[in-house]
C-alpha cells in the first residue's frame, strides 16, 4: 500500500517532468499554430495536476504537519503561502495564449517557484514527517491523498486554506501540539468552534478539532471530525 510519501513523490515526479518538457519546448517567434495548441494543452494539464496536488496537500498533508511537528505551523505556513502564490500565477496563466510573451514569462516564473516549493517540501518537511508518522498514519494519509484527488478541484480555485494566523490571533504560538487538552484554550479560540459543522470544509473542521485538542484528528474523515468537534462543545 503506497504511503503519503509515495503518493506525493509520484505527483512531484510528474510535475517536474511536465515542467522540463515545457521548458525544453519553449517556442520561437514563428512557432506553428499546432505547436502552440499542443503547448497550451500541456500547460492546462500542468495546471490540472498541480491544482489537484496542492488541494489535497492542503486538505490532508499540512494539517498532519501542523499536528505532528514542533515547527509544523511554521513549515506549513511557509509552504501554503508558496502554494497560494503559485495558484495566482496559474490562474492567470490559464487565461493566456501559449507563446504570448506574458504566458512564457509566467510559465518561467512558475517553473522556478514550483521547483523551489517541491525542494522545500522534500528536503525540509518530508524527512521530519517520515520520523513523526507511524507506518499506519503514513499509509492512511496516502490513502486520503489518493481518494481526495478523485474529487479535488482541477483549477487553481479562489478558496484558500485555513490561514495559520487565525490560530495565532491571541499573539501566542503554541510550542507543541502534542498532549494538548481542551482546557487552557482562550475564549477567543473557543469561539471559532461555535456554530454547526454544516457548510464547513474539512480543513476548517480540522482546525477546530486541533483547537479543541481532539486526539487522532490527523487521520479522521470529515464526518468523524464534525462529530468530534460537536461532541467537544
Q: Which residues bind Fe ion (CB under 5 A)?
A: 57, 121
Q: How far is the CB of 8 from Fe ion (least distance, A)?
A: 5
Distance CA 63, CA 162 (A): 10
Residue entry with cell 507543541: 176
Contacts of 59 by beta carbon, 8 Å cutoff, 6+ apart:
144, 148, 152, 202, 203
Tell me whether residue 38 or residue 49 sits nearer to Fe ion (CB atom).
Answer: 49
Quick one: angle between helices 4-24 and 101-120, nearest 10? 150
Asked whether the beta carbons of 174 and 189 are under 8 A apart, the reply is no
Q: How far is the CB of 111 from Fe ion (least distance, A)?
A: 15
Q: How far is the CB of 229 from Fe ion (least distance, A)?
A: 26
Tell me whether residue 8 or residue 214 sits nearer to Fe ion (CB atom).
Answer: 8
Tell me whether residue 125 or residue 220 sits nearer to Fe ion (CB atom).
Answer: 125
Tell me whether residue 121 or residue 211 sits nearer to Fe ion (CB atom).
Answer: 121
DSSP 167: G
Q: How far is the CB of 51 from Fe ion (least distance, A)?
A: 11
Distance CA 10, CA 204 (A): 27
Distance CA 137, CA 216 (A): 10
Q: For residue 79, give the H/E element and its range.
A: helix 72-93
Tell me whether residue 73 or residue 121 sits nearer to Fe ion (CB atom).
Answer: 121
Tell me whether residue 137 or residue 211 sits nearer to Fe ion (CB atom).
Answer: 137
Q: How far is the CB of 158 from Fe ion (least distance, A)?
A: 18
Q: How far is the CB of 132 from Fe ion (least distance, A)?
A: 17
Helix (H, G, I), strand (E, B) or coil at 38: helix
Tell me whether residue 133 or residue 214 sits nearer to Fe ion (CB atom).
Answer: 133
* 52-56-59-63 Cα dihedral, nearest 10 degrees: -140
* 129-79-83-200 Cα dihedral, nearest 10 degrees: 70
Distance CA 49, CA 53 (A): 6
Q: How far is the CB of 65 from Fe ion (least distance, A)?
A: 11
Amino acid at each position: 500500500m503506497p504511503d503519503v510519501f509515495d503518493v506525493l513523490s509520484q505527483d512531484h515526479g510528474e510535475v517536474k517532468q511536465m515542467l522540463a518538457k515545457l521548458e525544453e519546448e519553449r517556442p520561437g517567434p514563428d512557432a506553428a499554430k499546432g505547436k502552440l495548441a499542443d503547448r497550451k494543452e500541456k500547460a492546462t494539464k500542468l495546471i490540472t495536476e498541480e491544482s489537484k496536488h496542492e488541494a489535497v496537500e492542503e486538505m490532508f498533508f499540512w494539517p498532519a504537519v501542523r499536528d505532528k511537528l514542533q515547527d509544523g505551523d511554521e513549515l506549513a505556513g511557509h509552504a501554503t503561502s508558496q502554494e497560494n502564490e503559485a495558484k495566482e500565477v496559474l490562474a492567470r496563466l490559464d487565461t493566456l495564449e501559449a507563446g504570448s510573451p506574458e504566458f512564457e514569462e509566467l510559465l518561467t516564473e512558475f517553473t522556478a517557484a514550483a521547483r523551489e516549493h517541491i525542494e522545500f517540501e522534500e528536503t525540509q518537511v518530508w524527512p521530519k514527517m517520515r520520523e513523526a508518522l507511524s507506518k499506519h498514519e503514513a499509509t492512511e494519509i496516502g490513502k486520503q491523498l489518493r481518494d481526495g484527488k478523485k474529487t479535488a478541484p482541477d483549477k487553481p480555485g479562489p478558496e484558500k486554506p485555513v490561514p495559520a494566523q487565525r490560530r495565532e490571533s491571541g499573539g501566542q504560538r503554541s510550542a507543541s501540539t502534542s498532549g494538548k487538552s481542551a482546557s487552557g484554550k482562550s475564549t477567543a479560540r473557543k469561539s471559532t468552534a461555535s456554530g454547526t459543522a454544516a457548510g464547513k470544509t474539512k480543513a476548517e473542521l480540522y482546525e477546530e478539532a486541533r483547537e479543541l485538542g481532539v486526539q487522532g484528528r490527523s487521520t479522521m474523515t470529515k464526518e468523524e471530525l464534525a462529530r468530534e468537534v460537536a461532541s467537544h462543545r
